[in-house]
């Protein structure tokens, strides 16, 4: 990607070494430009030059270090695709809801327990008229209502 720019002093094309900060084809053009703008200054060229403070780093494409898609694929390999996706969501919620503390053995056991069950409690749906709790059936994708077991 070679973007040529026009030198503000001599009008010639040039390829800037730094995008955005360079306005002249060469140091001599830059010096003359500022020198002519400030004819009252008779001191050396260097002292007349304005300091370019902004250091624009070269724009290079940065690839993300890890690929989250791959992670999901590995999770999905545990069971079927739907269950895998559900596990990922549950895992995220479980491990991020507690101030990002490291997963404990209890957390792992809870996650394992979840793998053996087909129904997941839904916390943002109200109970039905009979007081049954809503659950998500990962095999059918339906919402089912059951009485809570541990009450
Ligand atoms: Zn020039």
Confidence of residue 40 (pLDDT cuts 50, 70, 90): low
Q: Is the pLDDT of residue 35 over 90?
A: no
Cα atoms in the 13 Å half-sphere on the side-chain side of 142: 4
CA of 5 relative to ligand 1 center, distance in Å: 10
The rounded distance, in Å, linking the Cα atoms of 54 and 123 is: 51
Q: Is the pLDDT of residue 14 over 70?
A: yes
CA of 24 relative to ligand 1 center, distance in Å: 5
Where do we find the tokens 């957390």? 107
Burial of 116 (0-12, 13-18, 19+ CB in 10 A): exposed
The rounded distance, in Å, linking the Cα atoms of 14 and 6 is: 6
Longest alpha-carbon distance in the chain: 93
Expressed in angstroms, the distance from the first to the final Cα of the chain is 66
CA of 31 relative to ligand 1 center, distance in Å: 10
Task: Convert the pLDDT of each residue in 20-34 to its tens digit.
Answer: 678 889 889 999 998
Task: Convert the pLDDT of each residue in 132-151 to its tens digit.
Answer: 889 888 888 888 888 865 44
CA of 61 relative to ligand 1 center, distance in Å: 30
Name every residue whose Cβ is closer than 8 Å to that of residue 10 and which is 6 or more positions away in sequence: 24, 25, 29
Q: What is the percent of the chain where pLDDT is above 90?
A: 4
The rounded distance, in Å, linking the Cα atoms of 93 and 136 is: 16
pLDDT of residue 47: 52
């Amino acid at each position: 990607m070679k973007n040529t720019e026009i030198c503000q002093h001599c009008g010639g094309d040039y390829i800037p070494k730094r995008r955005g900060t360079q306005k002249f084809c060469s140091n001599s053009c830059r010096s003359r430009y500022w020198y002519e703008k400030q004819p009252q200054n008779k001191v050396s060229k260097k002292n007349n030059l304005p300091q370019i403070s902004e250091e624009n780093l070269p724009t290079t494409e940065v690839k993300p270090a890890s690929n989250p898609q791959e992670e999901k694929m590995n999770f999905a390999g545990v069971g079927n695709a739907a269950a895998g996706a559900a596990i990922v969501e549950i895992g995220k919620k479980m491990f991020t809801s507690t101030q990002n503390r490291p997963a404990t053995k209890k957390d792992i056991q809870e996650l394992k327990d979840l793998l053996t069950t087909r129904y997941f409690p839904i916390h943002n749906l109200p109970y039905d008229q009979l007081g049954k709790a809503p659950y998500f059936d990962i095999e059918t994708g339906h919402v089912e209502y059951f009485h809570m077991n541990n009450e």
